[in-house]
């Protein structure tokens, strides 16, 4: 308890899945948290459940104006934001020969552009108020390859690269930037692609012989948001049950 006392955090994609797990863990450790998501009903229900130190705001990560409004509201409501969990993202599978450019562009806009706009939006506030921590959600597909994931992996490799560049650029301003690389995590986003059968198959490919859960991922975000990780910057941290210790998930 208390590892994030005094922290003000924004969690994108915070209404459900990994995002909701991050929100709950941040709150439990003393942070004030803004839940940012396009899922209005789920996000508001979570904020209502968790109480006064959380707030839900409808937010489109691919919209620059939405980011400006989100950061301004957070600064006014809770104080200067000093933690950003750039968690929002979507997953789409598709063969190179068949995947439409509309799906490729959607992946880019939400996963990659959304991450960039988030870093851009919070930098001024963090710089003026002594620094902060930005945690970007990449994936094991940002560390290695998997068939059917070319467009998705492109965004996740980009996030990995942007994180390292941002860490170099923003480090002198007191802003740390790190990327988190989850493996197969049991969330609504992954269950859409095969349900229980997909989870069982995924578990069979993991050295620990199980898929992960949001509560496996959230403690890493707490650590990276806290002052305990004050000398960690530009890192890429896999949280995948060992999948990338040898080959890729799909290898």
pLDDT digits (tens, 9 = 90+) for 141-155: 999 888 888 999 999
Report DSSP state, residue 73. Answer: H
pLDDT value of residue 35? 98
Evaluate whether residue 250 is within a structural domain: no
pLDDT band at 186 (very low <50, low <70, confident <90, very high): confident
Evaluate whether residue 247 is within a structural domain: no
Q: Which residues contact 165 (CB under 8 A, 6 or more apart)?
A: none
- H or E, element range at 237: strand 236-239
Evaluate whether residue 208 is within a structural domain: yes
φ, ψ of residue 135 to 5 degrees: the values are: -120, 115
Evaluate whether residue 248 is within a structural domain: no
pLDDT tens digits for 107-120? 999 999 999 999 99
- Which residue of the set 152, 213, 221, 231 is catalytic? 152
Residue 168 has pLDDT above 70, yes or no: yes
Evaluate whether residue 159 is within a structural domain: yes
Give the global pTM. Answer: 0.93
Give the residue numbers spanning the domain of 61.
8-242
- For 125-143, letters b (16+ CB in 10 Å) and e give bbeeeeebbbbbbbbbbbb
Please confirm, yes or no, whether 152 is among the known catalytic residues: yes
Q: Which residue has the higher pLDDT, 186 or 127?
A: 127
Evaluate whether residue 182 is within a structural domain: yes
Residue 251 has pLDDT above 60, yes or no: no
11 and 178 in contact (C-beta within 8 Å)? no
pLDDT value of residue 40? 97
pLDDT band at 249 (very low <50, low <70, confident <90, very high): low
**Whole-angstrom Cα distance, residue 229 to residue 60?**
29
Evaluate whether residue 213 is within a structural domain: yes
> In the predicted model, what is the mean pLDDT of residues 164-193?
88
Evaluate whether residue 251 is within a structural domain: no
How many domains does the chain fold into? 1
Is residue 195 classed exposed, middle or buried when 0-12, 13-18 and 19+ CB atoms within 10 A define those classes? Answer: exposed
Q: What is the CATH number of the domain that holds 109?
A: 3.40.50.720
């Amino acid at each position: 308890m208390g590892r994030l006392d005094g922290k003000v955090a924004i969690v994108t994609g915070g209404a459900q899945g990994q995002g909701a797990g991050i929100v709950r863990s941040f709150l439990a450790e003393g942070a004030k948290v803004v839940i940012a998501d396009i899922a209005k009903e789920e996000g508001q229900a979570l904020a209502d459940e968790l109480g006064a130190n959380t707030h839900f705001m409808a937010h489109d990560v691919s919209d620059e104006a939405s980011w400006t409004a989100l950061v301004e509201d957070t600064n006014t409501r809770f104080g200067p934001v000093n933690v950003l969990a750039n968690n929002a993202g979507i997953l789409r599978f598709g063969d190179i020969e068949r995947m439409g450019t509309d799906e490729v562009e959607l992946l880019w806009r939400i996963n990659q552009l959304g991450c960039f706009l988030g870093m851009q939006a919070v930098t001024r506030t963090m710089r003026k108020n002594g620094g902060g921590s930005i945690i970007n959600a990449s994936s094991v597909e940002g560390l290695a390859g998997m068939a059917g994931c070319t467009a998705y992996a492109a965004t996740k490799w980009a996030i990995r690269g942007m994180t390292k560049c941002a860490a170099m650029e923003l480090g002198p301003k007191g802003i740390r930037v790190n990327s988190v690389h989850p493996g197969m995590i049991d969330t609504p986003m992954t269950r859409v692609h095969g349900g229980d059968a997909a989870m069982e198959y995924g578990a069979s490919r993991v050295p620990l012989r199980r898929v992960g859960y949001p509560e496996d991922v959230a403690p890493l975000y707490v650590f990276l948001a806290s002052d305990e990780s004050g000398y960690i910057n530009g890192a890429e941290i896999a949280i995948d049950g060992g999948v990338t210790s040898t080959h890729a998930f799909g290898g």
